[in-house]
Amino acid sequence: MSAGPATALLAATAIAAFLIDGIAALAAMIAILLVLCLRAPVQRRWLYVSGALFSALGVIVISPLTWSSGGGTLLWEGPTLPVIGPLDLSTDEIQIALVNGLRLAVVALAFSAYTLLVDHDRLVSAAGFARRSALAVALATRLVPSLERDAAGFAESVRGRGVELHGVRGYAMLLSPLVAGSLERATGLAEAMEARGFGRSETTRAPRPAWTWVDHVAIVAALVLVAAAIWL
Amino acid sequence: MALVRVDGLSFTYPGGVPAVRDVSLELHAGEVVALLGPSGSGKSTLLRALAGLVPHFHGGRFAGKVEVGGLDTRSHGPAELAGIVSSVFQDPENQVVMTRVDNEVAFGLENMAVAPDQIWPQTAHALAEVGASHLASRRTVELSGGELQRVCLASALALRPQLLLLDEPTSQLDADGAEAFLAAVEQAHCAVVLSEQRVDRALAIADRVVMMEEGRIILDAPVAEARAWLSTFRPRYAGGLEPHDPSPPSRSSAPVIRLDAVHFAYGDGPEVVSGVSLSVSRGEIVALEGRNGSGKTTLAKIAAGLLEPDRGLATRNGRATYLSQDPGRYLVRETALDEVALGVGGDEVRAAAALEQFGLAFATCRHPRDLSSGERERLGVAAVSVSEPDLLVLDEPTRGIDPDRKAALAAWLLGEAERGRGILVATHDPLLPAHRRVRLGAAVEVPVAV
């Protein structure tokens, strides 16, 4: 499938997730997206997939305790905590947390599939007049694996000196060098792009394969998915 | 007529000291020039001036004149010069724009407005020239450093330049990757300026040698003449040095690290380390050798305690620190003093003494990213050695450094060993001194950006 229709289908799935309340439908979407993500190499996919699923799990487990819907059957009433307030659990809260968690999982997995599997280059070439903007988005997406590697490198550099990183504050120490490293990388990339003629007034495009029937079906499916989500 | 004419070039980066001073030279079509010199000698700035990146991309004060293919670089920017000049820089990861290899090579051709029906044939030809046709449909993030740098070379050659500029292109590569890259450069049918720290290999493919120090050209001669000059005045650059391993430590002691039949695999991937046994005693330097992907880095991390083996036994008798590859990239604090003090619980007195020892006292209050690449690497070494560990583990510490710095590092390692420190060095460099050399089996290419 071409990059444009694949991206449209993934975007439609994410939009539909916000419009659908049915747990079974959301679970089905997650199952399909998981199967898609599992096509990516193990070393690259685990961070995306585990990040998406654990974030969703966090929403499902924590949010019903910390938020009161005022409806449904009260199942448990706990202590009142500073800042957070009273802890309780009701059937309504569980239902809503489940839907929100599944929605988050769908959106995160759709982004994961886009990052891991879509050919961003073809998306850039399909962008027509917005090629520079599409290239910026593709470069930003491509930066994610580099950031992963840099973050691991920084953590290793600190641990290699016998210093353990503890908690959020420990890892927050790595944010500033990570940003500085990204800026340095971006400058290097800009220099390399200019040296390769980027920014000249006249450009051409390498010929790309025409859309197949699968691509047309994907576009129609994306439209139908969003329409159905609105309708239902 | 000369392809390149540089006349009285001087250049100073914004807020810096002069990087290039009164440089004049001519280059002719088809000539292969090895550009030598220590880190910070002005090689990269000269190459950037030839590509028009200096001053157009970097700003700064520019004096003199540079003409490439008859175009004055003061009035023609890098994008305009791109059809005549192509560049390959140090770090392949910082040059790659596209996701797929064939698209990456085609990117420059699209910018140069090559006829659409010619783009894919020229892309295929360029990839074939560097022996990378089999990579055409691969994703760039899945390639090893060596493969990725060859793709960068193909991207440069696809533009069919008259002048190819290579700025330490093998500094991030292992020995095999560097060999393959330079072999591909030999096949380029254009003038080449190759800035390179692997002097032997550079001299083997060059017609002429230009050597720079402190921004000036101190040697410009044909290779044979240059070899004689280097042997006399800069013997470390002349090549042909034999490894000089020290005699075994006089006292034997209990190993500071002992690995017994250790196995390790990342996730559910294949085993990277299979049943390796190894020990390092105090006062001993052990060199861990092997091809890229043979498990050197993984074993070094196991020895340092950063990874635990899946099977087998790692017995540590003391504290270890670990210096990663390219340490200058992974500095985390706001000043050099804080960077070093991090390893000793914020003890600024010890940190200041370590900075002094490594000739970095001037940088105490400077941001690590404001230092040169050589200074950053020294800062990395200071940061891991300040706590005086029992075992010092270094991963490819000589990669990309100049012969003078390599000699200084070798002398420092010997000194540390004499003080009773155990040292394990994962390296491809046969000239690095070691009491024992352990060779691991060959394996697979390792992705650079995953």
Which of B78, B98, B393 is closest, CB to CB, to A195?
B78
Half-sphere exposure of B432 (CA within 13 A, CB side): 26
Find which of B100, B103, B330, B338 to mutate to test the A interface (most A CBs within 10 Å of its CB).
B330
Which of A149, A160, A174 is closest, CB to CB, to B304?
A160
Q: What is the pLDDT of residue B233?
A: 93
Q: Which domain holds residue B174?
A: 4-237
Residue B450: inside a domain? no
Q: Give ipTM to 2 decimals.
A: 0.84
Give per-residue pLDDT as tens, B113-129. Answer: 999 999 999 999 999 98
Same domain, B285 and B356: yes
The reply to whether residue B82 touches residue A197, judged by beta carbons under 8 angstroms, is yes
Same domain, B32 and B160: yes
pLDDT confidence tier of residue B31, bands split at 50, 70 and 90: very high
* Residues on chain A touching B57 (C-beta within 8 angstroms): 190-191, 194
User: What b-and-e string marks burial along A27-47, b requiring 16 or more CB atoms within 10 Å of the CB?
Assistant: eebbeebbebbeebeeebbee
User: What b-and-e string marks burial along B55-67, b requiring 16 or more CB atoms within 10 Å of the CB?
Assistant: bbbbebebebebb
Residue B447: inside a domain? no
Same domain, B230 and B260: no
The reply to whether residue B79 touches residue A199, judged by beta carbons under 8 angstroms, is yes
Kindly give the interhelix angle for A131-159 and A175-195, rounded to the nearest 10 degrees. Answer: 140
Same domain, B69 and B21: yes
pLDDT confidence tier of residue B331, bands split at 50, 70 and 90: confident
Backbone angles phi, psi at A100, to 5 degrees: -65, -40
Q: Which residues have C-beta within 8 Å of that of residue B366, sequence separation ≥ 6?
A: B335, B336
Number of A/B CB contacts below 8 angstroms equals 179
In a 10 Å sphere around its CB, with 0-12 CB exposed, 13-18 middle and 19+ buried, how is residue A209 labelled?
exposed
Find which of B44, B84, B87, B98 to mutate to test the A interface (most A CBs within 10 Å of its CB).
B98
Same domain, B65 and B20: yes
Q: What is the pLDDT of residue A127?
A: 67
Instruction: Report the residue count for chain A.
Output: 232
First to last CA, chain B: 47
pTM: 0.80
Residue B15: inside a domain? yes
Here the tokens at position A7 are 């991206």
Q: What is the pLDDT of residue B117?
A: 94
Same domain, B139 and B221: yes
First to last CA, chain A: 28
Residue B249: inside a domain? no
Residue B9: inside a domain? yes
Q: Which one-letter amino acid corresponds to residue B8?
A: G
Find which of A118, A137, A159, A161 to mutate to test the B interface (most B CBs within 10 Å of its CB).
A161
Mean per-residue pLDDT for B225-235? 93
Residue B216 pairs in a beta bridge with: B213
Q: Is the pLDDT of residue B450 over 50?
A: no
Q: Which residues have C-beta within 8 Å of that of residue A16, sequence separation ≥ 6?
A: A29, A225, A226, A228, A229
Q: What is the mean pLDDT of chain B?
A: 89
How would you write B194-260 as a 3-class SS string?
A: EECCCHHHHHHHCCEEEEEECCEEEEEEEHHHHHHHHHHHCHHHCCCCCCCCCCCCCCCCCEEEEEE
Q: Do A194 and B57 touch, CB atoms closer than 8 A?
A: yes
* Residues on chain B touching A157 (C-beta within 8 angstroms): 324, 327, 330-332, 380
Residue B230: inside a domain? yes
* d(C-alpha A25, C-alpha B358), whole Å: 63
Among left, alpha and beta (phi > 0; psi -120 to 50; other), residue B60 is left
Element (H, E) at B50: helix B43-50
Residue B259 pairs in a beta bridge with: B278, B314
Mean per-residue pLDDT for B279-301? 88
Which of B103, B268, B323 is closest, CB to CB, to A160?
B323
Q: What percent of chain A has pLDDT over 90?
A: 16
Q: Tell me which residue has tokens 């394990």.
A: B424
* d(C-alpha A61, C-alpha A65), whole Å: 8
d(CA A131, nearest CA chain B) in Å: 12
Q: What is the mean pLDDT of chain A?
A: 84
Coil, helix or strand at residue B266: coil
What residue of A is the nearest CA neighbor of B121?
A: A206
Same domain, B228 and B304: no
Same domain, B328 and B407: yes
CATH assignment at residue B59: 3.40.50.300
Q: What is the pLDDT of residue B446?
A: 43
Same domain, B274 and B365: yes
**Of B186, B202, B237, which residue sits at a domain end?**
B237
pLDDT confidence tier of residue B312, bands split at 50, 70 and 90: very high
* Residues on chain B touching A199 (C-beta within 8 angstroms): 79, 111
Q: Count how many domains chain B has.
A: 2
pLDDT-wise least confident of A47-61, A163-177, B244-258: B244-258
Closest CA to B272 of B280, B281, B263: B263
What residue of A is the nearest CA neighbor of B54?
A: A191
Mean per-residue pLDDT for B171-180? 75
Here the tokens at position A142 are 């491509």
* d(C-alpha B96, C-alpha A185), whole Å: 11
Q: What is the pLDDT of residue A84?
A: 72
Q: What is the pLDDT of residue B448?
A: 42
Q: Do A37 and A49 touch, CB atoms closer than 8 A?
A: yes
* Residues on chain B touching A125 (C-beta within 8 angstroms): 103
Half-sphere exposure of B309 (CA within 13 A, CB side): 23
**Residue of higher predicted confidence among A174 and B5:** B5
Mean per-residue pLDDT for B207-212? 96
**Of B237, B268, B299, which residue sits at a domain end?**
B237
Which of A42, A185, A203 is closest, CB to CB, to B94?
A185
The reply to whether residue B449 touches residue A145, judged by beta carbons under 8 angstroms, is yes
The reply to whether residue A162 touches residue B319, judged by beta carbons under 8 angstroms, is yes
Residue B445: inside a domain? no
The reply to whether residue A42 touches residue B268, judged by beta carbons under 8 angstroms, is yes
The reply to whether residue B141 touches residue A188, judged by beta carbons under 8 angstroms, is no
d(CA A155, nearest CA chain B) in Å: 9
Residue B444: inside a domain? no
* Residues on chain A touching B91 (C-beta within 8 angstroms): 188
* Residues on chain A touching B304 (C-beta within 8 angstroms): 160
d(CA B97, nearest CA chain A) in Å: 7
Q: Which one-letter amino acid corresponds to residue B85?
A: V
CA distances from B94 to A114, A132, A175, B294 (A): 22, 19, 20, 25
Same domain, B227 and B340: no
The reply to whether residue B86 touches residue A195, judged by beta carbons under 8 angstroms, is yes
**Of B204, B237, B270, which residue sits at a domain end?**
B237
How would you write chain A as a 3-class SS string?
A: CCHHHHHHHHHHHHHHHHHCCCHHHHHHHHHHHHHHHCCCCHHHHHHHHHHHHHHHHHHHHHHHHHCCCCCCCEEEEEEEECCCEEEEEEHHHHHHHHHHHHHHHHHHHHHHHHHHHCCHHHHHHCCHHHHHHHHHHHHHHHHHHHHHHHHHHHHHHHHCCCCCCCHHHHHHCCHHHHHHHHHHHHHHHHHHHHHCCCCCCCCCCCCCCCCCHHHHHHHHHHHHHHHHHHHC
d(CA B222, nearest CA chain A) in Å: 29
DSSP state of B82: T
* Residues on chain B touching A202 (C-beta within 8 angstroms): 113
Same domain, B367 and B430: yes
Q: Is the pLDDT of residue A133 over 60?
A: yes
* Residues on chain A touching B119 (C-beta within 8 angstroms): 204, 206-207
Same domain, B212 and B284: no
Q: What percent of chain B has pLDDT over 90?
A: 60
* d(C-alpha B289, C-alpha B300), whole Å: 11
* Residues on chain B touching A193 (C-beta within 8 angstroms): 97
Q: What is the pLDDT of residue A128?
A: 64
* Residues on chain A touching B450 (C-beta within 8 angstroms): 41, 43-44, 145, 149
Q: Which one-letter amino acid corresponds to residue B176?
A: D
